[in-house]
Amino acid sequence: SFYFTSGSLLGMLHFCVCDDVLCQKAMLNSEAVDCPLECDCPTAYPTAMYCHSRNLQHIPYVPSHIKYVYLQHNQITGIQDGVFDNATNLVWVILSHNQLSSEKISDSVFVELGSLVRLYLDNNELTHVPRNLPRSLTDLQLSYNKITNFSPNLFESMSNLTTLQLQGNDIEKVEGGLMGLKSLMMLDMSKNKLMKIPDSFPKELQQLYLDHNNIKSVPAGFLTMYPNLQFVRLSHNSLTDKGLPSNVFNTSTLVELDLSFNQLEKIPLVSRNLENLYLQANKIKEFSLSSFCDTIDGTNFSRLRVLRLDANKISARDIPVEAAYCLRLVSSVNV
């Protein structure tokens, strides 16, 4: 219920006093000329439309002045044709945690959204990456779907995409599908079914997450092909010593390397510039100081700060005293 404290009928909602949720909602929507009944379009954020967590089964019609639309945590199964036709100013579309299936998304539904930079479709039932995504996208979230592969050249012209999240899908291989992403800095393909590291990543890549797959080896020269890589996660795979060419991690740009939960018996050689190295839960039997420093001359030491070696086959006794010179920035080695 609401009642007026003052004001004319025209301006009434500006002056009402609300004491329940429905009334507050009416007030919130009062100034937005055009807002679907199911959603909230608060006057304080005139370009946002909030439709999350309200058991929606369809996307409400999106008015043309809306730039940010929040539709997460509903039961939306498809994206009907035309629903975004007037909404050509959309910048963010958040559809996480719904029941979207690929069959119910038409090929042309996003293509006209020339200002769209962020599209979140994670935690749905998609079996493939939607076609004809706008080239303006910078941030595409597709994790926790049922994607098994993607057609080559799918991302060919998406030259502004910087973040691509595909974790928690069923991807077995990637065939040339990522080369077009000239600006891609972060790729997360963890928790998939990759048997090997895909062949071709964009050169700008800085963060590569491939943990929780079934990868057995790293190709020789892999990191030198991607000179901007700083963070590489390969934990929870099936890596063995045999699968790691001798110098494969000796690249000066790498800052963080996660090889935990694999089958390694030796500490691989790493660059002096590496700062975080995770090797816990492997089968490492010896502490090889030469993996970190080839000579110890007092000036040339490792930049390593975090070194995890716990849940391996070594103990603190196996760490030589000289390690204190080489690993002088490591406050304590977890064994």
Ligand X SMILES: *[C@@H]1O[C@H](CO)[C@@H](O)[C@H](O)[C@H]1NC(C)=O
Judged by CB, which is closer to ligand X: 171, or 205?
205
Query: DSSP alpha helices (H): ranges in the chain?
Result: 12-15, 21-29, 222-225, 323-326
Residue 249 CA to residue 230 CA, distance in Å, equals: 11
Stretch binding ligand X (CB under 6 A), from 46-54, 247-255, 256-264, 278-286: 247-255
Q: Is 250 in the site for ligand X (CB under 6 A)?
A: yes
Residue 151 CA to residue 128 CA, distance in Å, equals: 9
Output the CA torsion sign for 171, 173, 175, 178.
positive
Q: Which tokens sit at 249?
A: 């991690």
Burial 61-91 (b: 16+ CB within 10 A, else e): bbbebbbbbbbbbbebbbbeeebbeebebbe
Judged by CB, which is closer to ligand X: 260, or 302?
302
Residues 210-229 that bind ligand X (CB under 6 A): none
Task: For residue 306, list its beta bridge partners.
Answer: 276
User: By Cβ distance, which residue is nearest to ligand X?
Assistant: 136
Checking DSSP bridges between strand 2-4 and strand 16-18, what pairing results, if any?
antiparallel
Which position among 4, 45, 61, 325 is part of the footprint of ligand X (CB under 6 A)? 61
Judged by CB, which is closer to ligand X: 62, or 281?
62
Q: Which tokens sit at 251?
A: 């690249």
Residue 178 CA to residue 289 CA, distance in Å, equals: 38
Stretch binding ligand X (CB under 6 A), from 52-60, 210-218, 293-301, 317-325: 293-301
Residues 127-186 that bind ligand X (CB under 6 A): 135-136, 160
Judged by CB, which is closer to ligand X: 23, or 111?
111
Judged by CB, which is closer to ligand X: 157, or 238?
157
CB of 52 to ligand X, least distance (A): 22
Residue 296 CA to residue 323 CA, distance in Å, equals: 9
Residues 83-122 that bind ligand X (CB under 6 A): 86
Contacts of 33 (CB under 8 A, 6+ apart): none
Judged by CB, which is closer to ligand X: 72, or 136?
136
Judged by CB, which is closer to ligand X: 160, or 230?
160
Q: Which residue has the tokens 């940010």?
A: 68
Which position among 99, 127, 163, 247 is part of the footprint of ligand X (CB under 6 A)? 247
Binding site for ligand X (CB under 6 A): 61, 64, 86, 135-136, 160, 247, 250, 252, 269, 294, 299-300
